[in-house]
Structure 1
């Protein structure tokens, strides 16, 4: 059956088992030329290794480290190398014809800030205006600093803004923002993803005090030069927590591609699928092998059986990375994608007594994870529903978890 985002359990456990919870991605910086009095006379090369979470804060740290080590001005270009992954062209509209949704962002060997822009709207009732703060900084893109305010109910505030995101060089809000909404945020996938990293890195280099005479641009091939500095990612144990708790699709795809890139330095979906199939046969024998497309569950073709998911959960619970894996799952009704369980049933005895991953697509509702019964017995729980009305069955999956927790005599 199609498990939707529950498929991330396969990707994250395979990552833990093959790479280890302490695995790091490395963003390497090279120089082409010579440095004198803080000026690099030549090019600066930034080479990605597929870091799933190279976000604004960590880019700032990298910019600062480059400057502290002696390069404050680049008399040349900043060249970006994302060649660690061999990827087909990505069509962000292919899955659901909604390319501006951040969950449709494609993977990248140098994935910067998920290729997204975040707009924060901060009302100023006295001026009848609404301040706009955007992040990360992005070079060559005009973004308004405020928008007119409106009275009335909050409602569909995004539609009332009459936003335009189709011009790579200009974002506009031609409508109004209702004051009654309070502070709100809106995340959008940048319309020109191929030029997102160059624009953001240029802006961050300059805002950190760096100077640049040339351009920031993609190399299109592996870069070379003298090693200068290396930035480390968060450890894998933290990465899988974000993937599973918040169901981050592009982070899951980055990890899936790393399964093959970590072996030969060149990751691809096809080779990662081969590695996962081999790994599955070694770990689970004749148990039905999952059908993987990209490892995130954002797919119409990915498939797994409930029995295979159960086998994975049981093995993960007894292995050396058991704590890292279990704690990467949402605490039922408390955080991550399971928080809404508490809204559907505030008195559910499952709240706080299960660690779960949920999955939702147009015709899929799924849940899988661990539950602790009132008897103290621990259980693996799997529920998969494939049906045109699957979303309506979410309360039934909640009841499956609660029934497991209320085992009373421990006889499930």
Structure 2
């Protein structure tokens, strides 16, 4: 990023430092009181997007947990440090010679952090291997995950919900977010079970019995048993009143997901494997026989922010140290992000544990978020970041909102006892406002109607 942008960021920070705090608008205060959310449990900022004194500054120097609003720092830093056209590549090596249609040796797939290696793109990768003339592999398919070094993690550790897709962990060779989609379709007296993708060696029941009664919580009555992940049991029933439903699951055996998915896809594209799928490393000094590029970073950032995808955000975060340090680590990426913050925005950076906001250790102030959003607004990267934020009432995590439709682009964040937003509000005559509103409290969700009142108030400001 050019020197002029850094100067602009520092000038914005100076404007903030000299600004006197102003109180909450009365209508926002009233909504907070009605919801039982104390004023000292929220931080609020409304300021001109192009810089200048804030219109509202309530507890803006109080550090709070931002939940997924933390993704703003990760995504803007990535756009600035890597560039909006940055792509990840997944490389394929032949560790052996090809004779006829047979690879006499191993096929090596090296991941480099692609956040969006979904099944359609894995199919394309393996079809390209087939197009190189390989029909059978006498050895193994070797998965090289060495680009990232991340600690072992328990997917249940954060909130006791290991099957929730938001708890999937990062991986240098992340395949399909380590998730499966299980669809239940009522047919006669049973519900047909369809699972995508097909994981090699995993068996699912073909049907489950239908039950009477209302739909409600339809997952618990299935009594899903993943004690033996290779043989899933569904001894319960599915409510007929639900119609067709899909259950998205983070695979309970996450470290084995890529191996099972790749083995299954290799068979699907018509390949034969003599050995097994296992972890390993690419042969030293070898050149890849093909590379599959990811979508560009700007497109990935849209997915991260629109849908608050945690594992994609962590992939992006780890890529910062992969590119700048040679290996992707959480500690290395924290250092890269902190250095970028000091250089571009000035002052001490916020703390982020993993770049996604899925953490109880995240810490940032409304002032810091305001500085980041103002800096982004005067940056050439503004269109990429602003367009990645959910449009109020239209898409992403804000698609179900029914007030002030289209008046704001806001990143949302939500955890137990944490809720908030940060982004841009559209005012009259093309005016744009930075808005930050976050609550840390047992009644944090009560900030949502206050956010609507604040958006409406800000959108009227000249």
**TM category, shorter:** over 0.9
Corresponding residue number in structure 1 for 2:289: 228
Alignment partners' CA distance in 2, 1:134 and 1:374:
49
**Partners of 2:338 and 2:142 in 1: how far apart?**
36
Map of 1:301 onto structure 2? 361
| Superposition pairs of residues 69-148 of structure 1, within 5 angstroms | 69-124=132-187, 127-148=188-209
Output the TM-score relative to the length of structure 1: 0.94
* Partner SS for 1:394: helix
Give 1:263 deviation, angstroms: 2.2
> Residue 356 of structure 1: which of 410, 414, 422 is its match?
410
Show the counterpart of 1:399: 453
Residues 205-354 of structure 1: matches in 2 within 5 Å? 205-219=266-280, 221=281, 223-224=283-284, 225-286=286-347, 288-342=348-402, 348=403, 350-354=404-408
Question: What is the CA RMSD across the aligned residues, in angstroms?
Answer: 1.2
* Matched position secondary structure for 1:54: coil
Query: How far does residue 374 in structure 1 lie from its aligned partner after superposition?
Result: 3.2
User: Which has the larger displacement, 49-58 or 224-233?
Assistant: 224-233
- Mapped to 2, the partners of 1:398 and 1:69 lie a distance apart of 56
Shift of 1:60: 0.5
In structure 1, the residue matched to 2:220 is 159
Deviation of residue 241 (structure 1)?
0.6
Q: CA deviation at 1:109?
A: 0.6
Does residue 386 (structure 1) correspond to residue 440 (structure 2)? The answer is yes
Please list the CA deviations of residues 171-214 of structure 1 after superposition, one character each: whole Å capped at 9, or x if unmatched. 12111111211111101111111111101100000011011110
Q: Deviations over 1:112-140 (max 9, x none)?
A: 1111111011122xx22211111111001
Deviation at 1:151?
Answer: 2.2
| Equivalence for 2:69 | 6
**CA–CA distance in structure 2, aligned partners of residues 84 and 270 of structure 1:** 14
User: What CA distance in whole angstroms lies between the structure 2 residues aligned with 1:406 and 1:166?
Assistant: 56
Counterpart Cα distance in 2 of 1:108 and 1:139: 20
The answer on whether the counterparts of 2:200 and 2:263 sit within 8 Å (CA) in structure 1 is yes
Structure 2 Cα separation of the partners of residues 160 and 192 of structure 1: 22
Residues 282/39 of structure 1: CA separation in 2 closer, same or farther (3 Å cut): same
The answer for unaligned runs of 5 or more in structure 2 is 1-63
**Partner residue, 2:235:** 174
Shift of 1:368: 0.4
Shift of 1:315: 1.1
TM-score scaled by structure 2? 0.84
What's the CA shift for 1:226?
4.3
1:373 aligns with 2:433: no
Question: Is residue 47–residue 223 contact of structure 1 (8 Å, CA) maintained in 2?
Answer: no
Alpha-carbon separation, structure 1, partners of 2:241 and 2:160: 31
- Asked whether the equivalents of residues 191 and 209 of structure 2 are also in contact (C-alpha less than 8 Å), the reply is yes
Structure of greater Rg? 2
Deviation at 1:375, TM superposition (A): 4.0
CA drift at 1:339: 1.7
* Deviation readout 1:239-289 (Å, 9 max, x if unpaired): 111100110101000000000101243110111111111100111112x41
1:309 counterpart SS class: helix
Could you tell me how far apart the structure 1 residues matched to 2:282 and 2:327 are? 11
For residue 247 of structure 2, give the secondary structure of its aligned residue in structure 1.
Answer: strand
Q: Aligned pair count?
A: 398
In 1, distance between residues paired with 2:361 and 2:451?
Answer: 22
Name the CA distance, whole Å, in 2 between partners of 1:139 and 1:2: 40
- Cα distance in 2 for residues equivalent to 1:306 and 1:393: 15
SS state at 1:365 partner? strand
- Checking the alignment, whether the CA contact within 8 Å between 1:129 and 1:146 is kept in structure 2 is yes
Q: Paired residue for 1:66?
A: 129
Q: Distance in 1 between matches of 2:136 and 2:292?
A: 19
- Between stretches 29-38 and 262-271, larger displacement belongs to 262-271
Indicate the residue corresponding to 1:345 in structure 2. none
